[in-house]
Amino acid sequence: MILLTKGGNISLSKQSPGLKKVLVGLGWDERASDGQEFDLDACAFILNDQKRVRSVGDFVFYNQLTSADGAVQHLGDNRTGQGDGDDEQVTIDFSKMGADATRVAICVTIHEAEARRQNFGMVSNAFVRVVNAADGKELARYNLSEEMSSETAMVFAELYKYNNEWQFKAVGQGFAGGMLPLAKHYGVPL
């Protein structure tokens, strides 16, 4: 397993030749809260070379658990983030992705963040990891350590195709406004 820092990337294809499917695990802990429910949600966007979705079917989240092509699947919403390990998981089957799908953005948003006055400054121990689904071997991990005091959405990582190899990039970029502005940013027709 390779531990990455923000902006770092690694070839998953070189780490695991013949890689067909990965599990992306995301985790976090609540650092501070006023007692209101704190619900973070993972989502994924299948993107083309222009970093835009091809259709609404490329947006995977708690209300649409599988992409239209079946390549990306959200394994369920964890509404509390309690416990150790992954809080939410997404699988990506590279063999089901069309030739025009060259990137998958892995993001996390805070549900009803504005109404609850919550942000990523109240989150600690956030991470994203990539595991070879065939053998369970963790290939890469990125521990997000930056303070995002006012952000309500974050792009944790991207998996992207470069020279016919799948790469993993640690992004850690905050995004204001939550899931709807994030979806619009990636071109989801709403």
Could you tell me how far CA 11 lies from the centroid of its own chain?
A: 17
Is 101 in contact with 71 (CB distance < 8 Å)?
yes
Q: What is the mean pLDDT of residues 22-28?
A: 92
Percent of the chain topping pLDDT 70: 90
pLDDT interval class at 29 (50, 70, 90) = confident
Res 79 pLDDT > 60: no
Residue 91 pLDDT exceeds 80: yes
Q: Please check whether residue 154 is in contact with residue 128, taking contact to mean a CB–CB distance below 8 angstroms.
A: no
pLDDT at 137 over 90: yes
Which are the contacts of 138, defined by CB distance < 8 A and separation ≥ 6?
A: 1, 129, 130, 131
* Cα distances (angstroms) measured from residue 32 to each of 80, 118, 121, 178: 14, 9, 8, 19
Task: Judge whether residue 20 has pLDDT over 90.
Answer: yes
- Is pTM, for the whole model, over 0.85? yes
Q: For tokens 């650092």, what's the residue?
A: 31
2-185 CATH choice from 3.90.1280.10, 2.60.60.30, 1.10.290.10, 3.40.50.150: 2.60.60.30
What's the confidence (pLDDT) of residue 184?
Answer: 94
Q: Which of 38-42, 80-84, 148-152, 166-170 has the lowest mean pLDDT?
A: 80-84
Residue given tokens 């599988």 in the structure block: 66
The number of CA neighbours under 13 Å toward the Cβ of 189 is: 4
What is the per-residue pLDDT for 68?
97
pLDDT digits (tens, 9 = 90+) for 140-182: 999 987 666 688 899 999 999 999 999 999 998 888 888 998 9
Which tokens hold the place of 169? 């990039």
Q: Are 25 and 131 in contact (CB under 8 A)?
A: yes
Predicted local distance difference test score (pLDDT) of residue 39: 81
Domain-by-domain residue ranges, the chain?
Answer: 2-185
Residues paired with residue 109 on neighbouring β-strands, in sequence order = 41, 153
Does residue 56 contact residue 63 with C-beta atoms inside 8 Å?
no
